[in-house]
Structure 1
């Protein structure tokens, strides 16, 4: 089990604690745990070609809120020298209970990176 503490940069006081257990390796893994307001679970998959996908669920009992999220990224192009990389990302979140029940948030992006 590992824990992470996020501190307020101005005061240095802990504002969030996240503890969990991970199984698997860098390519395929699952993580479950607790944070200061609820519980979470996630499954992550990375392939060797630069693609990855993630699926997670978060529940906050104080707000009776459960959120399901999915995200992915794809490597669209890598130059032969490896200096240029173009990729795409997408994410979606659906609130299945709580004050935002039935609401969805979605996003996508196109990324370009060049290493000099």
Structure 2
């Protein structure tokens, strides 16, 4: 069984999934149903999902429907390009189709055993002639010997290559301090 339920009482955001999984951690297939809402009073998305994974590579498809608004179908893929004891590098791609538009994109992401990560991607919505490129990164600055205290930094940048914001950039960043009691 593949059952999950999560929620945030402050925002009303909730997700419930029920499905089946066959296989093990190295190779498996999953299929099931889900219901999700972005917040209190928000529309409920109901749908189905399926995925196959083997040795860090995967394919998935999801179809969700919001009553009175329409449906969206998304297919995605991931390929593990490098896997070592200290680093993982993955390539991803997706295509999403709804009643009003298509959206697709691809990217690379890397994670290290030291808690650092980086990602680079591009997204395209042809019907609106919108193309964006984004880069994100995070660095683990300090972890206490007990592992209870962690200090990390993150940053992101987005460049609008086409569309109404063509030539504009957005930047962000932050520092996170976490203590587990």
Number of the residue aligned with 1:52: 117
Query: CA offsets per residue over residues 52-90 of structure 1, 9 Å max, x none?
Result: 000000010011111000000000000011100000010
Paired with 2:117 and 2:123, the residues of 1 have a C-alpha distance of 20
Larger radius of gyration, structure 1 or 2?
2
Query: CA offsets per residue over residues 81-110 of structure 1, 9 Å max, x none?
Result: 110000001000000011110111110011
Gaps of 5+ in 1: none
- Aligned CA-pair RMSD: 2.0
Gaps of 5+ in 2: 1-58
Q: State the Cα distance separating 1:14 from its structure 2 match.
A: 6.7
Is 1:43 the counterpart of 2:104 in the alignment? no
Higher relative contact order (CA 8 A, sep 6+): 1
Task: Report how many aligned residue pairs link the two structures.
Answer: 113
Paired with 1:104 and 1:31, the residues of 2 have a C-alpha distance of 23
Is 1:30 the counterpart of 2:91 in the alignment? yes
| Superposition TM-score, scaled by structure 2 size | 0.57
Match of 1:49, SS state, is coil
Runs of 4+ in 1 over 3 A off after TM superposition: 4-8, 13-17
CA 1:90–1:17 in structure 2 vs 1: closer, same or farther (change >3 Å)?
Answer: farther
| Superposition TM-score, scaled by structure 1 size | 0.87
Written as runs of structure 1 = structure 2, the 5 A alignment for 1:14-93 is: 16-24=72-80, 27-36=88-97, 37-93=102-158
Is residue 5–residue 14 contact of structure 1 (8 Å, CA) maintained in 2?
A: no
